[in-house]
Each structure stands twice: as structure tokens, then as C-alpha cells.
Structure 1
């Protein structure tokens, strides 16, 4: 396990599972923190711990939680980590359950975070996500599986970064692309997560071909895949993602490095 992550000017690293660290605008941002070691989590099983633990991540300015209902996106140590952050942005239902410092954002609403580099604000736009097949049964709150929130990060002089959360819907991706036409980097939760008891075992997140389709629809210059390893219910790994991008002629968009190493972000 790597012991530390020096601050970067504008870069991202995936730590395993859905968890990524994004440094931009002088801020350190962590997405869907999962820091537990391998082991059972109810009906899910974690197969590998993170490349860098919470101590190695160091002080954080903002945590983004796509959803707190499933431990593969917010496990026990991830919850403890988020609770000590200055600010957590998530969906409205998740914010009520998590409590302070969580702030709930409905889709297409914005929260501004002062940047530490003096460049004004980092704008965080909440965007929708569908955690399963489009025709899946909806719960009492109108969500498929549960409430999930994606995020678009932007600011003066910064690249625009889309973090998908556990979204399986290309229709949603198309709507995001229509409303935010200039996405530079897409962090896509892939892995084709499957739970036999849910929706007949159909994918709850993007498979490789879905991720390639999402990249094409978004028109992003850079795609950083996440959420494809570290948990036993992920049915596709990096090789399937790479093959799908190769077959689609989009290999040049993929940026894959060893977990805990940085990918530079550019406009």
C-alpha cells in the first residue's frame, strides 16, 4: 500500500473500487471513499483494499458521495473519513441520512466551493444517475435501486470533470452532454456490477461497451475508468473496458495507471 499522495496542481488518481482523489483548484477532492480492507460487507464482498488508505490521502477539502446506500461506494472507514471532512456533497436523501457535514444537491443544482488557489470558486453541479436498467422498478422516491448522484466539476482555468457515480443509463449521459457540452474528463464507474436478486442480474453500472458509448456521447478528451475492481460483484474488469474502447476506436481516450498514481488533467 502506498503511504502518501503529494498534492498535485490538476490531476486524478483512482485508489480502487469507485474511490478517486482529484486535485484541482488547490483543493483535494475524494469521491466515494472506500477504505476498508478486504472482507464481507453484508451481501457484498470486498476483494481488495485501497492502494492508499485514508491516512495516506491526508487532509481533504471536499468529499463527493454518489450514494451511501451500498458499502461498495461508502464503507465503514469511508463513512468515518467523510464525517471528518469540511464538506460532503451528495443527494438530498443521502445527506439526510449522513447528517453534517453532508449537503444534499438535487439534480441540476449547483454548490460553489471557494478554491484554495485564489482562482475563484469550484462549481459542483449535481447531475442525475440511474443505478440499474432503465425499465427497473422504481422505489417510493422514484429511484431505480436507490438515489444516486453524479457530479460535474468546473471553474475558471480548470478542466471540466464529470464523475458519473453508479450510472448505467446512456440516456442520462446524453442529457448531461446536452446540458454540459464541454466535458474534458469523464470518470466513469464501470465494472458491470451485478447482484442476482436485483433486476434479474442485469448490470447496475456501465459495462465496457456502455462506458465506451458514454465516452463517445460526452465527447470527452480523457476517460478515467473506476469501479471495476475491488469488489466481487463487479462482473467486468479493466480488460473488458479496454477491449470495448479498442473495438469502438476510442482507446486513445483511456487513461489508466496503477492505482495510487496520477493522471494529469488538462483542458
Structure 2
């Protein structure tokens, strides 16, 4: 049986294919964040309710995989892990890189990794902070809430600058990113208000819809693509809640959504 044909590239665009998993085509490079390709079903204490819009076979030409954290199946499942480890380059947390092994490279917050673009330019990937739970949540010995997580900022000359939040619930962290990154053109926000019984009194572990709208306002971005708000039973707010919150905030014009598997522009 022949392999499925690769997904045609569309530079300057993003595609959410399920859960947090997002394809970004930038500067001739294909980037996939938080790959999850397993079928629906129970995964420990989490339950997956939807499969991806595309199989990993369609993305075999990926140049870079970003993993905000490897600790939870809804951000890196079994097939996603195999996909990530087969990629030419995998960027993740410092602790995650130790667990995953080659080709994973760990980045601490505000550490930057440069990649050569096919056109001879450069794409820089900067790891940025994330707090995977309430700001006042109990912190471990390393100062992390829940576990170590990073987001990413992708930037390069002539390219839209894109923030991928990872599982961040902290508006204070978003404000820090807005202060330190001079220009952002688009944001992919994990906005499903993930909640797990017994953790932090059931408070959200990722942005809820209202805080996603607030994050968009703080960042001042003209394009916001919501992700990680369907596909798992512990997501408590879906696309309708996100759309309502952005409308309430007067920010509908920046919200860009479509069915999973649909290309979305990273510039207005």
C-alpha cells in the first residue's frame, strides 16, 4: 500500500488538526506543535473523545516538532511521541529533553534556537514561560505548577511572529511575554479550560475562554487561533465559549477559527 501524499505546504498559515496539535508553515519550514495522533479512548485518568483530522503520515516532511511538555497524554501521546522522535529536530522543556532523548533539545524560558530556512534566512524559536495551573498553585522544588511547561515564539525576517502558548493558565505570564517580545502577529492559544478533579480544587490548568480573550488583548495580536479546546473530556470550554468570550470583549475581529484540518492565515 502506498503512503498517503504529504499535506501540501501553505506558507504563512496554520492548521489545528485536533487537541493542541497545530501545523505551522513558516519560511519554507513545517512545524508541528504538541503532536497527538492516538485514537479516541481512555489514557490513564484522561479520556480522548476525538481523533485528529490528519494522520501523522501526511506530515512526514515536518522539519521541527515543538512539545510544550511531555508529561501528559493530551499534549504528547504514543503516536505523537513516535512522530516527534522521528523528526529532524524536537524542541521541548529541559526536563522533557532528558526524558525523551535524541533528537530532543531542551530550552529554558527565554532561550533561543536558530534554524536555517530554505531561502537562506533564519527562523528563531524562543522558549517562553508557561504556568500549567493557577498562579497561586503549589509549586514543586523547581518552582513549577503541575509540571514544567514552555510556550514558543517563532520569528524571522519577513515572517509573521507567532506565539504558541502551550498549556499556560497565567495572565501574568502572558503580560511578561507581551513586554519582552516587541512584536507578535499571531497567537495560538490553548483555550479549553482543562480541569482535572483533585487538582487545584478543579481550577483551570489552561486558559479559559475569558482569559484567552484577555490574553489576546494584552498581547495586542491581530490574529488569534484557539486550540486545545476540543477532543478531550477534561476540556470544560469549547469553541462556542471562546467565540462568546471574544465577542463579549469586542475582539471577534481577531479570532480566526475553522473546522480542524483547515488552513488559517497567520496574518489578517
Q: Is TM (by shorter chain) over 0.5?
A: yes
Match of 1:41 in 2: 43
1:174-217 Cα shifts (integer Å, max 9, x gaps) = 00000013110000001000001100100000000000000000
**SS of corresponding position for 1:204:** coil
Shift of the alpha carbon at 1:10? Answer: 1.3
Shift of the alpha carbon at 1:117? Answer: 2.7
**SS of corresponding position for 2:105:** strand
In structure 2, do the counterparts of structure 1 residues 43 and 3 end up closer, same or farther at CA, with 3 Å as the change threshold? farther
Partners of 1:187 and 1:225 within 8 A in 2: yes
| Distance in 2 of aligned mates of 1:223 and 1:265 | 8
| Distance in 1 of aligned mates of 2:38 and 2:62 | 18
In structure 2, do the counterparts of structure 1 residues 256 and 4 end up closer, same or farther at CA, with 3 Å as the change threshold? farther
Match of 1:221 in 2: 222
| Distance in 2 of aligned mates of 1:264 and 1:43 | 35
* 2:74 aligned with 1:72: yes
Unmatched 5+ stretches in structure 2: none
TM alignment of 1:115-134, pairs within 5 A:
115-118=117-120, 120-134=121-135
**SS of corresponding position for 1:6:** coil
1:8-64 Cα shifts (integer Å, max 9, x gaps) = 121100001000000011000000000001011000000010000101223110000
**SS of corresponding position for 1:174:** helix
Match of 2:97 in 1: 95
| Distance in 2 of aligned mates of 1:27 and 1:220 | 22
Partners of 2:50 and 2:231 within 8 A in 1: yes
| Distance in 2 of aligned mates of 1:239 and 1:128 | 28
Residue-pair matches, total: 265
| Distance in 2 of aligned mates of 1:181 and 1:202 | 31
**SS of corresponding position for 2:153:** strand
In structure 2, do the counterparts of structure 1 residues 3 and 250 end up closer, same or farther at CA, with 3 Å as the change threshold? farther
TM-score by length of 1: 0.97
| Distance in 2 of aligned mates of 1:149 and 1:127 | 6
Unmatched 5+ stretches in structure 1: none
* 2:30 aligned with 1:28: yes
Partners of 1:158 and 1:266 within 8 A in 2: no
TM alignment of 1:50-89, pairs within 5 A:
50-89=52-91
TM-score by length of 2: 0.97
1:88-140 Cα shifts (integer Å, max 9, x gaps) = 0011001100110000000011000111233x110001100000001100112
Match of 2:193 in 1: 192
Shift of the alpha carbon at 1:4? Answer: 5.1
